[in-house]
Amino acid sequence: MIKEKSCGAVVYKFINNELYILILNMRLGHVSIPKGHVENNETELETTLREIKEETNLDVTVDTNFRKTINYSPYEGISKDVVFFVAAYKDGIIKEQESEVDKAFWVPFKDAISYLTYQSDKDVVESAIEYILKEKRNKE
């Protein structure tokens, strides 16, 4: 069994005190959130920041206190772990990575899960939304 590892994040921002989540329509036909393979000796945080920048052109602040790992087999003989964090939008204008992303867009958090293709992504986003809203309440 070959092991692979990817990292990514549920990217969010607040507009008029309302939570929005970044969603990606991928060229392979599914709808997801930013993530990608760990390269060379990157840390999980380095991979997450690089992938978000590559796929969307956005700068974010990653919160590693939220960490959720999923595992699946993309192909026979391969086991893949994907580590997700939450990441607050900091700066930048969306510019999709042409080779991988058809469209990146912000959606209200209440609608985010309905866009996603895979149940594992839905579970991650649901947990992330709960975490983000709890953290926001704790700071108010």
What are 83-122's pLDDT values in tens digits? 999 999 999 999 999 999 999 999 999 999 999 999 999 9
Q: From 8, 25, 1, 5, select the one nearest 103 (Cα to Cα).
A: 25
Q: From 71, 66, 75, select the one nearest 48 (Cα to Cα).
A: 66
What are 61-83's pLDDT values in tens digits? 999 999 999 998 888 999 999 99
CA angle 33, 52, 50 (to 5 degrees): 140
Q: From 67, 95, 58, select the one nearest 9 (Cα to Cα).
A: 67
Please state the three-class secondary structure of 65-93 as a single string.
Answer: EEEEEEEECCCCCEEEEEEEEEEEEEECC
Does 2-139 carry CATH code 3.40.50.1000?
Answer: no
Does an H or E element contain 20, and which?
strand 18-26
Total residue length of the chain: 140
Q: Per-domain residue ranges for the chain? A: 2-139
